[in-house]
Amino acid sequence: MNYRHSFHAGNSADVVKHCLLIALVGALQEKPSALTLIDTHAGCGLYDLSGDEARRTGEANAGVLRAFADASPLLDDYRAAVRAVNDAAEPQLYPGSPHILAQLLREQDGLILNEKHPEDARFLRGAMRGMPAAIHERDAYELWLALLPTRSPRGVVLVDPPYEQTDERARITATLAAAHRKWAHGVTVIWYPLKDRSVHEDWKRKLARLGIPKFLSVEHWLYDADQPGIYNGAGLFIINPPYAFTQALPPRLEALRAALAPEGHRGEITADWVSK
């Protein structure tokens, strides 16, 4: 899978990922103790929706623009995060996860970003200028383990790889197992594309065998039947989601499904425990 996020910024996967990430961090911030937020595959940080790459795919039309046209108040926090980097009513820029996480920081929280690709790392530094973030250019999986346990009592690790390498899922599985041994109570969020259902189910079975408690899978399937060989949606694995987040999840997921359903399809978005 060849994936440069400038082609896909603001698509339906971004809407689901960022809406749920905002809700997750918000639930954790109901307690005053400090959070360390870590993004292992940070990307460029900010994306131009009017640029050649984004216009070539037009994926924002079925993502962030649908979310902006929707009336559900459950998407208000997400829309506010996008508006924060835009002057116009309709978004021209799209904030990546680094920008969104930076917006959520309290005085006691910290943000660590990592982007191995040199050109993207340069753009990331420019996009995050003036914001309280430490930026690294390291192998994502090495950094993931090296920074655990976090300096603060609590933290969130976001793992959002491009899935360009054939061993990406194997590296995530191995690193997650090692990370859980070092940091069993920490919150980890892993984004993944949904393309081939059988491949995904096989990976999920391998992850289940790790025996990690409180392992939630959120899956957003765009179409009413699988479309062979194409992108069918995306999901998140969330380890140790807080109670306040999971309790508020069903209506938020329904709001996302309704806002993002392609014309002629109802779509489906589910939350199930891989293990509990």
- Cα–Cα nearest to 237, from 187, 195, 198: 187
Total number of residues shown for the chain: 276
160 catalytic? Reply is: yes
pLDDT of 4 reads: 58
CA distances from 13 to 62, 213, 257 (A): 10, 26, 11
What is the predicted pLDDT for the residue at 227?
A: 75
Q: What domain range is 88 assigned to?
A: 5-275
Classify the phi-psi angles of 43: left when phi > 0, otherwise alpha if psi is within -120 to 50, otherwise beta.
left
Phi-psi region of 229 (alpha: psi -120 to 50; beta: other; left: phi over 0): left
Catalytic option among 160, 167, 202, 224: 160
Output the pLDDT for position 253. 98
- The answer to whether the Cα torsion of 139, 141, 147, 152 is positive or negative is positive
Preceding omega of 149 cis (within 30 degrees of 0):
yes
Residues 6+ apart with CB under 8 A from 188: 156, 157, 159, 176, 179, 237, 238, 239, 240
Question: What confidence score (pLDDT) does residue 2 get?
Answer: 40
Residue-level pLDDT at 54 = 66
* CATH number of 63's domain: 3.40.50.150
What 3-state class would DSSP assign to 27? helix
Question: Which pLDDT score is estimated for 3?
Answer: 47
Q: Which residues, in sequence order, are bridge partners of residue 159?
A: 190
* CB-count burial class (<10 Å; 0-12, 13-18, 19+) for 272: exposed
Give pLDDT, residue 123.
Answer: 95
Distance spanning both ends of the chain, measured CA to CA: 31
Q: Looking at residue 232, what is its pLDDT?
A: 87
Average pLDDT by stretches of 10, the chain with 276 residues: 65 97 98 98 94 75 95 98 91 96 98 96 96 97 98 96 93 98 97 90 96 97 81 94 98 98 94 91
Q: Name the strand (E) or helix (H) holding 157.
A: strand 154-159
Number of structural domains, the chain?
A: 1
- For residue 261, give the DSSP letter: P
pLDDT at 53: 72
Are 156 and 105 contacting, i.e. CB atoms less than 8 angstroms apart? no
Contact 34, 154 (CB under 8 A): yes
Q: Phi first, then psi: what are they for 153, rounded to 5°?
A: -60, -30
Whole-number pLDDT of residue 11: 95
In the chain, the DSSP E strands lie at 35-39, 46-48, 93-95, 110-114, 134-136, 154-159, 187-194, 215-221, 233-239, 268-275
pLDDT number for residue 229? 67
